Amino acid sequence: MRYLPLTPDDRTAMLAAIGAKSIDDLFTDVPQSARLDGPVDLPRVAGELEVERALGALAGKNATAGTVPFFCGAGAYKHHVPATVDHVIQRSEFLTSYTPYQPEIAQGTLQYLYEFQTQVANLTGMPVANASLYDGSTAMAEGVLMATRATRRNKAVISGGVHPHYVAATETVVHAVGVETQVLPAAVDAEAEVIAQIGPDTACVVVQTPNVFGTATDVTKIAEAAHAAGALLIVVVTEAVSMGLLRSPGEMGADIVAAEGQSIGNALNFGGPYVGLFATRDKLIRQMPGRLCGETVDADGERGFVLTLSTREQHIRRDKATSNICTNSGLCTLAFTIHMSLLGETGLRRLALLNHEAAVKTRDALKSIPGVEVLTPRFFNEFAVRLPKPAAEVVERLAEKRILAGVPYSRLAPDAGMDDVLLVAATEITTDADVAALKAALAEVL
Amino acid sequence: MSTMNTVGRPTTPNQVETRPATLTGGRGLLQNEALIFEGDGWGKTGVDLPEPKGDASDLGDLVRKDPIGLPGLSEPEAMRHYVRLSQKNHAIDLAIYPLGSCTMKHNPRLNEKMARLPGFSDIHPLQPQSTVQGALELMDQLAHWLKTLTGMPAVALSPKAGAHGELCGLMAIRAAHEASGEHEKRRKVLVPTSAHGTNPATAAFVGYTVVEVAQTDDGRVDVADLASKLGDDVAAIMVTNPNTCGLFERDILEISRLTHEAGAYFYCDGANFNAIVGRVRPGDLGVDAMHINLHKTFSTPHGGGGPGAGPVVLSEALAPFAPAPWVVSDGDGFRLIEREEEDAAQAFGRLCAFQGQMGMYVRALSYMMSHGSDGLRQVAEDAVLNANYIKARLSDLMSAAFPEGPCMHEALFDDEWLKGTDVTTLDFAKAMIDEGFHPMTMYFPLVVHGAMLIEPTETESKAELDRFIEAMRALATAAKAGDVDRFKGAPFHAPMKRLDETRAARAPKLRWTAPEGSNLAAE
């Protein structure tokens, strides 16, 4: 087997050094009844070629975003990723290193994490960011738990514009610890309705901008209302590129930002691995979940970086930790930070504007189709339309025509009574020909 | 003299003599690389994008006006920056990475190639299911391999890391107790003192009270203590097997029997499954739930700390409570059940926005298919053989924490042998860095004083093991001979000297900020 360096002679010599007669002597602690005599019933060793053929056949059965007119978003976005990104993240020293627990030989990882934290803090407009969480949805759950710790209150008010899967992932976890959630009905443009629900027991208000219907909202007034009642404002962002064009959550008064960073540097990957961005205010640092990288000096006084504030974390605090999180999204944070370094502010702003432009163009094309009603009033790169037919059915019909037209809202929330709503995203990859193809095909099936 | 905590770990760095620095801060191949924020990248970009034709005036006041504070790098500058940084990292591709409990094994590049096939990497999680049948089939195949290797009837694939898998398992256990009406009285989770920190953290996270179970002198769960703490107020036990001392729990069948008799569930931390894969099925040990770190046992890269993947195999009793989504197959192909209400009404909810770590599924399946069932069995055997070889060859100089009998995939030493040398486990670890090796896991498990936990994995050759062993022997001999200076100031030859972690935590500086008086950047 090509990954196993020991030869039969090595094994014999090593067993002799140990003083064991056979390999079975090393497994004697396993109860007799639980020892398997031979290999389980699965295929045997396979060469590279065989594996490539088998997996290539499975890959070949999927319609890839890059080969069709593509308008899917709803929390995962296709952007062009510079070739440098994937090259660098495959360097052995990044790909095959561990969590930087020995900082003297992990400054590469630690420095990019420090740079990543700074980029995320500046992008979100917040004072501090951590070294990433699993994804945006788990970041939202962690944000709600953090808010309950910080305020010693027990209830989260969640806007009807938050991605339903984010809400589900959050409720699953926070209900287990007895945190209450109040989720407002799905609505395209009603983030401000959370204000009326804030009470003395509210730990946090959660709003998303742009929301799941694409609507961008100035949340300043919501922040003021939350703060006046002693609650925190959590802003969820599922499309990180949007912050290159829209006012940052920090500028609008957010206390915690829980965002999905996939759209910078990371491929669609059928939903994962992605990278959760998590940022907050200085006074809440010690309540944060996840790893943090901090600056320090070495014995020569040279600047260096280490993982820090680990007294919040499970490996030190065990059952008193702020979260059970250990692993973060290491390599995905690296992809994010490389792509962001290449873009810089100039590139990010331009990229964001190109996204907006593509979405406006797509919106204009679709709204001219009879029966199609555009629902989203202000958007970044995604908007909702109402169709005269169930959106899931339309999407299937268009998929048969090799057009991935978007995400039916009913896929995220079957019970919302919005079966006719389609979420359509456009990015810098969207061409005029893609838009024309979508328009023609949609007009045909409606 | 440095201060120490309760397990003998120094909490302050030692004073060392400084050596003359180079004039530029660079040293040989190692460049003194500034932060991207400290260069001239303000206003620069390394991505050529077309000039936008429109503007964003339709968005009015929502448009961001102030500087964001993001420098840019041209492509050559970016490449240099990150390659220079990379050279300051240890990696499994450079040398043995013997971190006990972390399982740093070779990461096959075929897996990377497969994960990057557009048919896996360039598909959207919410595409019509008819357009992703191959992806769903891959998830189904992965599930089949994991269930067969563990002897368990069900698996929840979506947890995004080991700790997320623990969360999944405990949530399923909690849901099962809720379904049987016993949740209100079963509020305790029993966890051995040697457990990973994630175990008690997860149990507490889910709202349970953690009760510690003692360990015997031979490094196993104290069954009598466990039995005395089991009762109708216990929801589950969380046992790592092989455990964090690198030992197989000999009484595992008795442990699971007692647990089930008490009406509790057996959660197994599967972090060390690599030691027994292909030779022992956890299902035969009475396990109810076990997470599998795909980034440990099945070689998906650790990537400097992630991403991981932590699928959880489940017993018949817990299977109905598995979270959404999951894959089913019928005559029409494969279907993703995305809402718990759609099928089994008992699913406990959803753990993340989409279907988990697809990129890791592809890599893990590529690894499993490459080995086959026979190769995976050999993986466990070689991992255990390598660890025992290290233990055998170092035990005359260093004190094995549990000298009797074989270990499994990792060899555990304590710091008894360093007594009187003024060298601590930390000092010894830092001196290993100077010799070109990444240190073993230190000060874990907490039940062993000054612990040194060495896990070679099966992908080390005998020659590399011998090289490592000779270095360890040389260092151990030096420590005993009183060559303390070699250890106290170490590392001397690494990209950095010993870093002051206390200082970092005292006044946390977690981001770059523009120097006073500069007009650069926001904040």
Instruction: For chain A, positions 213-252, list CB contacts with chain B under 8 A.
Output: 216-218, 243-248, 251
For residues A196 and A261, membership in a common domain is answered with: yes
Domain co-membership, A323 together with A369: no
Provide the percentage of residues in chain A whose pLDDT is more than 90: 95
Report residue B73: phi and psi, to 5°.
Answer: -130, 140
Q: In whole angstroms, what is the distance from residue B424 CA to residue B408 CA? A: 26
A156 to chain B, any CB pair closer than 8 A? The answer is no
State chain A's mean pLDDT as an integer. 96
Name A152's Cβ contacts closer than 8 Å, sequence gap at least 6: none
Of the candidates B82, B128, B164, which has its C-beta nearest A88's C-beta? B82
Please report the pLDDT score of residue B522 as a whole number: 44
* Residue A89 forms contact with B (CB below 8 Å): yes
CB contact under 8 A, A42 and B149: yes
Question: Chain A interface, mutation test: which of B47, B252, B302, most A Cβ atoms within 10 Å?
Answer: B47
CA–CA separation, A39 vs A125, rounded Å? 55
Judge: A168–B499 Cβ closer than 8 Å, yes or no. Answer: no
Tokens of A387: 């169709």
Same domain flag for B353 and B408 = no
The Cα A257–Cα B479 span in angstroms is 50
Q: Indicate if B217 and B328 belong to the same structural domain.
A: yes
A325, part of any domain: yes
B81 domain-assigned:
no
CB-based contact, B27 to chain A, within 8 Å: no
Three-state DSSP string of B320-377: HHCCECEEEEECCEEEEECCHHHCCCCCCCECCCCCCCHHHHHHHHHHHHHHHHHHHH
pLDDT of amino acid B341:
61
Distance CA B286, CA A290 (A): 33
Same-domain pairing of B386 and B256 = no
Number of domains in chain B: 2
Q: Does B214 touch chain A (CB under 8 A)?
A: no
Q: Around A373, how many Cα atoms within 13 Å sit in the side-chain half-sphere?
A: 8
Pairwise CA distance, residues B110 & B85, whole Å: 25
Q: Do A284 and A215 belong to one domain? A: yes
Closest chain A CA to residue B65: A247
The string of pLDDT tens digits covering residues A68-86 is: 999 999 999 999 999 999 9
> Which of A:291-330 have CB within 8 Å of B?
291-302, 304-306, 308-311, 313-321, 323-330
Q: Do B360 and B468 fall into the same domain?
A: no
pTM of the model: 0.96
Pick B201's closest partner by Cβ from A302, A305, A314: A314
Q: State whether A259 and A408 are in the same domain.
A: no
Q: Which residues in chain A are closer than 8 Å to B353, comparing Cβ atoms?
A: 75, 135-137, 163, 165-166, 169, 260, 271
| Cα–Cα nearest to B180, from B137, B231, B232 | B232
Domain assignment present for B85: no
Asked if residue A283 is part of any domain, the answer here is yes
**CB of A366 within 8 A of CB of A372?**
yes
Which residues are CB-contacts of A273 (< 8 A; sequence separation ≥ 6)? Answer: A134, A135, A266, A329, A331, A332, B160, B306, B307, B309, B357, B358, B359, B360
3-state SS, one letter per residue, for B151-177:
CCCEEECCCCCHHHHHHHHHHHHHHHH
The pLDDT confidence band at residue B345, using thresholds 50, 70 and 90, is low
Q: Is there a single domain that holds both residue B280 and residue B355?
A: yes
Provide the 3-class DSSP secondary structure of residue A10: helix
Look at residue B383 and tell me if it is in a domain. Answer: yes
CA B26, CA B29: separation in Å to the nearest integer? 8
Pick the closest to residue A58 from B92, B115, B33, B9 (CA basis). B115
Nearest chain B residue to A428, by CA:
B49
pLDDT average, residue stretch B162-169: 95
Q: Is the domain of B384 the same as that of B317?
A: no
Q: Residues B152, B276: one domain?
A: yes
- Domain boundary among the residues B368, B383, B415 is at B368
Radius of gyration of chain B (CA): 26
- Please state, in angstroms and rounded to a whole number, the distance separating the CA atoms of residues B174 and A320: 20
Do B186 and B270 have their domain in common? yes
Residues A155-214 have pLDDT tens digits of: 999 999 999 999 999 999 999 989 999 999 999 999 999 999 999 999 999 999 999 999
**B465 contact partners, CB below 8 Å, separation of at least 6:** B96, B386, B389, B390, B456
| pLDDT reported for residue B521 | 47
Say how far apart CA B218 and CA B194 lie, in whole Å.
12
> Is the pLDDT reported for residue B342 higher than 70?
no
Q: Does the pLDDT of residue B9 top 80, yes or no?
A: no
What is the DSSP secondary structure assignment for residue B42, as one 8-state letter? Answer: T
Q: Which domain holds residue B126?
A: 111-368
Residues B342 and B380 in one domain: no
Amino acid, single-letter form, for residue B396: D
Specify the CATH number for the domain of residue A91: 3.40.640.10
Q: Is B281 on the interface with A (CB under 8 A)?
A: yes
Stretch (H or E) spanning B485: helix B485-488
**CB within 8 Å of A194: residues ≥ 6 apart:** A157, A158, A159, A184, A205, A206, A207, A222
Does the pLDDT at position B34 exceed 90?
yes
Span B92-99, average pLDDT:
97
Domain containing residue A223? 83-338
Decide: A314 and A323 in contact? Cβ < 8 Å. Answer: yes
Mutation for testing the A interface, residue in B11, B148, B160 having most A CBs under 10 Å: B160
Residue B522 falls inside a structural domain:
no
- Residue of chain B whose alpha carbon sits nearest to that of A357: B54
Chain B residues with CB under 8 Å of A308 CB are 501, 504-505, 508, 510
* Domain match, A312 and A417 both: no
pLDDT for B399-412, tens place per residue? Answer: 999 999 999 999 99
Tell if the CB–CB gap between A272 and B88 is shorter than 8 Å: no
B 494-513 residues with CB < 8 A to A: 494-501, 503-505, 508-512
Q: Do A98 and B132 touch (CB under 8 A)?
A: no
B196 in A contact zone (CB under 8 Å): yes
Do A314 and A370 fall within a single domain?
no
Six-digit token pair at B57? 């005036």
What integer pLDDT is reported at residue B519 of this predicted model?
A: 63
The first and second tokens of residue A98, run together, are 């561990």
Which of A338, A365, A392 is where one domain is finished?
A: A338
Quick check: B520 pLDDT over 70? no
Residues A327 and A352 in one domain: no
- Please indicate whether, in this complex, the C-beta atoms of A294 and B509 are within 8 angstroms of each other: yes
Q: Please indicate, yes or no, whether residues A328 and A370 belong to a single structural domain of this protein.
A: no
* B368-427 residues touching A, CB cutoff 8 A: 368-379, 381-382, 384-386, 388-389, 391-393, 405-406, 408
Q: How far is CA A238 from CA A212, A235, B227, in A?
A: 8, 10, 48
Scanning A26-91, the segments in alpha helix (DSSP H) are: 48-59, 83-89
pLDDT digits (tens, 9 = 90+) for A318-334: 788 777 887 789 999 99
CA distance B153 to chain A (A): 15
Cα–chain-centroid distance for residue A416? 24
Look at residues B104, B454, B367, B470 and name the one whose alpha carbon lies nearest to residue A45.
B367
Question: Which residues are CB-contacts of B208 (< 8 A; sequence separation ≥ 6)?
Answer: B170, B187, B188, B189, B235, B236
Q: Which DSSP string corresponds to A87-100?
A: HHHTSHHHHT----
Distance CA A51, CA B372 (A): 11
The domain spanning residue B469 has which CATH number?
A: 3.90.1150.10
> What CA–CA distance (Å, rounded) separates B424 from B434?
16
Classify residue A116: in a domain, yes or no.
yes
With an 8 Å Cβ cutoff, are B44 and A344 in contact? yes
Residue of A71, A79, A96 for testing the chain B interface, max B β-carbons within 10 Å: A96
What is the pLDDT, as a whole number, of residue B1?
Answer: 45
- B70 with A345: Cβ contact below 8 A: yes
Site of tokens 């100077």 = B434
User: Is residue B307 domain-resident?
Assistant: yes
* Pairwise CA distance, residues A169 & B34, whole Å: 39
Residue B89 backbone phi and psi in degrees, to 5: -110, 140
For chain B positions 57-116, those within 8 Å of chain A (CB to CB) are 58-59, 61-73, 75, 78-79, 81-83, 85-94, 97, 99, 102, 104, 106-108, 110, 112-114, 116
Residue B325 C-alpha from the chain's centroid: 24
Q: Specify burial of residue B317 (Cβ count, 10 A radius: 0-12, 13-18, 19+).
A: middle
Chain B CB contacts of A342 below 8 Å: 45-47, 72-73, 75, 78
pLDDT exceeds cutoff 90 at A216: yes
Spatial separation of the C-alpha atoms in residues A394 and A379, rounded to whole Å: 23
DSSP secondary structure letter of residue A424: E
Q: Are residues A225 and A288 in the same domain?
A: yes
Q: Do B444 and A106 touch (CB under 8 A)?
A: no
> Cβ–Cβ of A42/B373 closer than 8 Å?
yes
CATH number at residue B144: 3.40.640.10
Average pLDDT of the segment spanning B387-409? 97
Length of chain A: 446
Interior CA angle at B504 toward B500 and B510, to 5°?
140
**A125 pLDDT above the threshold of 60:** yes
Are residue A228 and residue A359 in the same domain, yes or no?
Answer: no
Alpha helices in A7-76 (DSSP H): 8-18, 48-59
Mean local confidence (pLDDT), A369-380: 97
| pLDDT for A244 | 98
Residue A24 lies in a domain: no
Q: Which of A344, A362, A355 is nearest to A433 (CA)?
A: A362
For residue B507, being part of any structural domain is answered with no
The reply to whether A398 and A261 lie within a common domain is: no
| Residues of B with Cβ-Cβ distance to A343 under 8 angstroms | 45-47, 70, 72
Quote the number of domains for chain A.
2
Asked, for residue A40, whether it belongs to a domain, the answer is: no
Residue with tokens 């308008």: A71
Structural domain contains residue A71: yes
Q: Does any domain span residue A37?
A: no
The CATH number of the domain holding residue A359 is 3.90.1150.10
pLDDT tops 60 at residue B523: no
Last residue of one domain, picked from the residues B347, B368, B389: B368
Domain stops at, among A274, A307, A338: A338
Give the mean model confidence (pLDDT) for residues B172-193: 96
Q: B15 pLDDT exceeds 60?
A: no
Q: Looking at chain A from residue 359 to 398, which residues have their Cβ under 8 Å from any Cβ of chain B?
A: 360, 378, 395-396
A400, A405, A406, A438 from A397: Cα distances, Å? 5, 10, 12, 12
Are residues B301 and B228 both part of a single domain? yes
Q: Does B6 have pLDDT greater than 90?
A: no
Same domain, A258 and A149: yes
Of A309, A338, A367, the domain-final residue: A338
Please check whether residues B383 and B494 belong to one and the same domain.
yes
Note whether A95 contacts B295, CB cutoff 8 Å.
Answer: no
In this structure, the answer to whether residues B347 and B280 fall within a common structural domain is yes
- Residue A3's closest CA among B248, B382, B39, B189? B382
Out of B61, B73, B349, closest to residue A172 by CB? B349
Q: Which candidate, A27, A26, A7, A28, places its Cα nearest to that of B389?
A: A26
- Distance between CA A123 and CA A241 in Å, rounded? 9
| Residue A34 resides in a domain | no
